[in-house]
Structure 1
Amino acid sequence: MAALGPPQPPPSRLGPRLRAAAEVALRVPSLFFIDAIFNSAPVLAGDSLWAGLLGGLLRLLGVLVSSVILVLSQRSLFQFYMISSAFLLAATSVLVNYYAFLHINFHSAYDTNEAFGFQMLPHKGPSLWMALSILQLVFGIGYVALLNIQSLYSQLIILDLLIPVAGLIIELPIHVRQVLVFISGFVLTFYTLAILLSKMKRFYYSTRYVYLLVRHMYRIYGLQLLLEDTWKRIRFPTVLRIFWLTRLTAQAAVLTYVVWMAEADSDVKSRMISWDNFWEVLCSLIIGGCDSTLTVLGMSAVISSIAHYLGLGILAFIGSTDEDDRRLGFVAPVLFFILALQTGLSGLKPEERLVRLSRNMCLLLTAVLHFIHGMTDPVLMSLSASHVSSVRRHFPVLFVSVCLFVLPILLSYILWHHYALNTWLFAVTAFCVELCLKVIVSITVYVLFMIDGYYNVLWEKLDDYVYYVRSAGNIIEFIFGLIMFGNGAYTMVFESGSKIRACMMCLHAYFNIYLQAKNGWKTFINRRTAVKKINSLPEVKGERLNDIDDVCAICYHEFTTSARITPCNHYFHALCLRKWLYIQDTCPMCHQKVYIDDKENTNASNNNGFVARDENEPNENLEDSDGTDSEEEEETDGLT
């Protein structure tokens, strides 16, 4: 047996994380190119039709190439940037040799010293030769390393880059130095083109393989799964987020520098930006952060990250473990993007864009508060129904509920104090009032359940009270849905109509009005039918309950006040049986029909009376020959 050595540390995850970070960073420039193409004027301006068509084709080609680079695999992306960096180093090396030749021999005729940064180098002598030699060595080593050239060819490449410098050192004639510069550049260009042509075959086969793979995945999984896989593979939300933050940071640096220089010229003693200028810079950044569809997507990605961590923090605070409640990071950016498309945010003027963005953010805030209420309401109901007595467990949920009641009121007060009534303010106020009513309904139901748990007595009217409270809340919510539909229709007809707004109104009418009314009416009919069925069954009270000497088969509690007897002679609490009849019409014990009409019920009562069920007596109505009823009974026991 091999000797046991010291425990080995786990493999480091730093390498894959660095590669993932580098992959995301290398995809960001593609978004900058696409954004620059969309925000720029046509490449070729003029009245000519062909010039316009050529400019449009060039723009389309640029977008297509940038999009292809954006969706490349990790390996292909790294290879593309390595080859591009090597070509850039080669071009820079040739330009340095050429302008160094001009700098030394024609310094008086050509002002290349300041134009190309040669003021940083010595003007002449061994210091200049040494600086040029080191610079060309760096370019050559980088070129060789990026293209992974073999040792012999790598030495020749580095030697080729140093030949013009050698001509300067030995002070060859001017025309000879010029020839050496030309030969060095020609050899490097020829070798670069040869490498590019040698990689074209591999590029062709790689492209063909990717095409066949994508076509195969499309045929098997469909377009939706293919797009979802690409979305996750390239980490598109992270790429958008970094693109937007990088763009915003660059704009902030430029604007801050310009404002600081302007203030420095006007007031020498000033070292800090004033509050007014800071607010103007902030507004300019916000306006520039949503000036195109791509930047709106980037802002949506940032909002997604903020909403995601906000949702996780609230879930941890209230102690919820429901996975469905972690969708806030998905719901918030989708709503923001839909609002941006619906209002045409990126196409507005800068001043109008800032106003519209602030209004959209208010609507988004109310929607997020509604979603948070949907997260806290199940936790509040579970705490009240499970009779948890710990104050520490109840306090976070109640605190969040109180905040959900106070924040809409505060938001409505601020908006009504600063703005006049319009369709947008009416919509925000309606959402706030609706949220407050939802919180009141949740707190009321919570209090009812807590009272029921405190007295520890079967409260038969509890279900009715809960139903009345929730029904009142649902009716008010339905009314608000109708009001919001009317408000949206007025906005579309008289203010700003669009196809996206019309589609959203249709979705709102279907999900928030039609389906809600249909489900509410179905619940009402089921409840009324269940009450009618329960009232048709005989009721046992008083001393007859002592003769039963049994428990309810649904809740396993004794009969204290009354019991209902089914046609199959089984006893249940009226409340328990009514809840069961919401689901199905059969007895929980033997699966016979529970409901019979009044005439049959009267005949059955006169003929059979109130006969207690014998547990040892076989039931003739059960047919266990094929095992069907036994399986149904097991499923029913699992439900109870």
Structure 2
Amino acid sequence: MDKLKSAAPIFAGVVTTVLRLPVFFIMENWVFSTEGEIWSTLILRIYGFVLAILMSTLQRNQLFKLYWNLTTGILLLYLPFQYVVMKVLEPALNGIKINDSATLTAFLLCIATGLLAVHLSEEKTWKAAVLMVNTLTVPAVYIGLPPYVTHYIHDFTATSILCNLFYRVSLSMFGLVEEIYLLIYLIRILGFNSVAKPILDSIQRPFLVFWLATFAYSAVHPVKEIAHVDWTTSLDYWLSFLSTCVEECCRTPVGLMATSVVVAYVASYARLLLEAFLYGFRRIGNHNTSGWIEGVAFFFISIQIGVLENHPTDTHKDVQRRSYPLKITSLLVVAIFLETTYQTLNSKIASFSASTKYSNHIRALMTYIILLLSSCFVVYSVCNLVSNGIFLPLVIVFGSTIIEIVGSLLVYTLFLYDFKYSAENLDDTIFYIKSSVGIVVFVGAVIVSCSGLWLVKNEGISWIQTPCLILHTYFKVWNKFNDGYDAFILRRNCRKKINSLPWATNERLRNHGDVCSICYQVMSSAKITPCGHFYHRNCLQKWMNDNNTCPLCSYRISV
């Protein structure tokens, strides 16, 4: 019994995910239908869009009520009306005599579906009897009313049922508005991340299931130009087959969104795998990494490159040409993943100290090497695939990631050397390395911004490239410049403070008779702070790069 209770939330989650799947088919057939199709009318598009929003955002209880009401509408409108129109109404309007058995069958079908709809209805009072209006058409035909009266009664019946259905859907809309107000209230109390994460997870799962179903369908029904391939002998055709299946999943806007969600999942778990390698697979904690940056990047890059465009697929060359934009997009997204992963793991590696286990330091070095080799391979692959100068700035951006990784790897190696051998003037060496890397990365970012401005001047403003150029200029140029300038000013002030402090004489060092309070090593020379404390010069400089107070008494040190 306890196992059943524990499995109930899982079962409810699976049911909820399945109930959200029609959203994707509604979006593809209604919202994105082309002119001339059955769903291309404006009213049906709006209604389909509203249904898609409700099915994708309503909470579980409200979603069940929505399906309950839609089931009621189908019972009242679709099932009996198909039989009534074909067997009773159309023959009567055409002057054809109707069998009593057909009339009785239609009447009983209307009564049965009406009673079932009344039973399923949320209204348990006499108002639910209004749903029995679907039985009016059959008696009107049986008693021999004029055809135009019978037609009006049929239209009145259909309109009444549709109005009831629209009323129930509008109640779901009001329920959605109430949920939005509740979410705003919870965001104010708990914060955005704690409230948004469960909602995003509930939206991601249907996208993932939809993509898996689409991928499975593409794998079972391969396109004709690759269906004849002997898969047991050629790895290249296996890769071609997989890329074709993924490309088939990206043919529609909804499929592209689902593929972007899958990319976010893959990036998130790949980053988690690297983090587990860094800390040890047994010590990895909760899964807090996210892959939304890679997912959003995949979506917009795919639109910009033209993955959604339809191409002929008559020959195997056409398959390769059609999969070319997808290969470029995948490589660019992998490069973005490597950059964001480096930024995430680099801050965690920086927290390692001399007390950290030696095996963790080895893992940190291996992590840098893995990121470096992967970035080099991506840049090499992009250079081989792309000959257009438009993508050269992107190569520069990802090349700057390689330079940053090399700089971090060199700095971390020097830190390990300092832990073992206590190198002199290491702080200055690390500062020069970081400054050189920062200058090279900054120059590359400026080149990319200038290239983007040149593209805007020659090709005009693009709704994807222009915002990316603005974000790149702000984060990679402006913020980098401010950070570098602030670091330079801080170090210059730190140097002035250190140089302004007096050196301790040999007599004062002997009278002091203590070790440096920062490194706990014997002092052969020391700087004296205004509060009278003794420190190694290098130790005090490292401390004052981030602080302007005495390490022991927090006395403010100024020039």
TM bucket, shorter chain: 0.7 to 0.9
Say yes or no: does 1:239 pair with 2:206. Answer: yes
1:61 to 47, 58, 62: 47
2:62 to 61, 76, 87: 76
| Matched residue, 1:121 | none
Partner residue of 1:442 out of 372, 392, 408: 408
Structure 2 residue 297 is the aligned partner of structure 1 residue 297: no
Matched residue pairs, number?
A: 518
The SS at the match of 2:5 is coil
C-alpha deviation, 1:506, in angstroms: 1.5
Instruction: Give CA-to-partner distance per residue, 1:192-243, whole Å, 9 cap, x none.
Output: 9999988998877665565456457658968x98999588448212222223
Offset, 1:99: 8.5
1:315 & 1:34 partners in 2: Cα distance? 37
Task: Report Cα offsets for 1:394-436 as digits up to 9, x if no partner.
Answer: 4433333222222233333344445435231x23532443233
2:411 aligned with 1:433, yes or no? Answer: no
CA distance change for structure 1 residues 562 and 325 in 2, over 3 Å: closer, same or farther? Answer: farther
Tell me the SS of whatever aligns to 2:207. Answer: helix
Using the alignment, how far apart are the partners of 1:262 and 1:322 within structure 2? 43
Q: Distance in 1 between matches of 2:172 and 2:464?
A: 40
Q: What is the aligned-residue identity percentage?
A: 23
Of residues 322, 332, 339, the one that matches 2:294 is 332
Deviation string 1:357-385 (CA, Å, 9 cap, x unpaired) is: 322221111111122223443454444x3
Whose radius of gyration is greater, 1 or 2? 1
| Pairwise CA distance, 1:556 | 5.8
Quick check: 1:358 aligned with 2:330? Answer: no
Q: How many angstroms does 1:306 deviate by?
A: 0.9
Task: Please give the alpha-carbon distance, in whole angstroms, between the structure 1 residues aligned to 2:231 and 2:266.
Answer: 33
Deviation of 1:303 after TM superposition, in Å, equals: 0.6
> What is the aligned partner in structure 2 of residue 557 from structure 1?
520
1:465 Cα offset (Å): 1.6
Structure 2 Cα separation of the partners of residues 566 and 323 of structure 1: 43
Aligned to 1:576: 539
Q: How has the CA–CA distance of structure 1 residues 17 and 478 changed in structure 2, closer, same or farther, with 3 Å as cutoff?
A: same
Looking at structure 2, the residues matched to 262 and 380 of structure 1 have their Cα atoms a distance apart, in angstroms, of: 48
Residue type of the alignment partner of 2:525: S
Cα distance, 1:509–1:282 mapped onto 2, change above 3 Å? same
Does the Cα contact within 8 Å between 2:519 and 2:539 map onto a contact in 1? no
Deviation (angstroms), 1:577: 2.4
CA displacement, residues 92-139 of structure 1 (integer Å, 9 cap, x when unaligned)? 4776799899xxxxxxxxxxxxxxxxxxxxxxxxxxxxxxxxx99x99
CA–CA separation in structure 2 for the residues paired with 1:348 and 1:318? 43
Instruction: State the secondary structure of the residue aligned to 2:415.
Output: helix
Are the equivalent residues in 1 in contact too, given 2:18–2:206 (CA < 8 A)? Answer: yes
In structure 1, the partner of 2:466 is: 502
CA–CA distance in structure 2, aligned partners of residues 379 and 75 of structure 1: 42
- Give CA-to-partner distance per residue, 1:58-117, whole Å, 9 cap, x none: 42233223323433332232233234345546754776799899xxxxxxxxxxxxxxxx
How much has 1:488 moved relative to structure 2?
A: 2.5
Partner of 1:311: 271
Instruction: Say whether 1:403 aligns with 2:370.
Output: yes
Structure 1 unaligned segments of length 5 or more: list them. Answer: 1-7, 46-51, 102-134, 151-160, 162-174, 177-188, 597-640
Structure 1 partner of 2:5 = 12
* Change beyond 3 A, Cα 1:525–1:213: closer
What amino acid does structure 2 have at the position aligned with 1:472?
S
| Structure 1 SS opposite 2:504 | strand
Corresponding letter in the other structure for 1:78: F
Q: Does the aligned pair in 2 maintain the 1:317–1:396 contact within 8 Å?
A: yes
Secondary structure of 2:375's aligned partner: helix
Q: Indicate which of 359, 383, 386 corresponds to 2:354.
A: 386
Aligned to 1:28: 21
In structure 2, relative to structure 1, the CA distance for the partners of 1:544 and 1:402 (3 Å cut) is same
Q: Give the 3 Å change call, closer, same or farther, for CA 251–429 of structure 1 in structure 2.
A: same
CA distance in structure 2 between the aligned counterparts of 1:317 and 1:191, rounded to whole angstroms: 66
Partners of 1:262 and 1:570 in 2: CA distance: 80
Hey, what's the Cα distance between the residues in 2 that align with 1:259 and 1:140?
A: 49
CA pair 229-412 structure 1, distance change in 2 beyond 3 A: closer
AA at the equivalent of 1:571 = F
Partner of 1:259, secondary structure, is: coil
Shift of 1:319: 0.8
Q: CA deviation at 1:14?
A: 1.7
TM-score by length of 2: 0.74
- TM-superposed CA distance for 1:563, in Å, is 0.6
> Residue 551 of structure 1 contacts residue 559 of structure 1 at CA under 8 Å; is this kept in 2?
yes
The structure 1 residue matched to 2:216, chosen from 242, 246, 249, is: 249
Contact 1:539 1:565 in 2 (8 A): yes
| CA root-mean-square deviation | 5.2
Which amino acid is the alignment partner of residue 552 of structure 1?
C
Rounded to whole Å, the distance in 2 between the matches of 1:201 and 1:508 is: 48
| CA gap 1:200/1:94 in 2 versus in 1, 3 angstroms | closer
**What SS does structure 1 have at the residue aligned with 2:34?**
coil
* Amino acid across the alignment from 2:46: L
Matched residue SS, 2:41:
helix
Any conservation in 2 of the 1:401–1:439 contact (CA below 8 Å)?
Answer: yes
1:44 CA displacement: 7.8
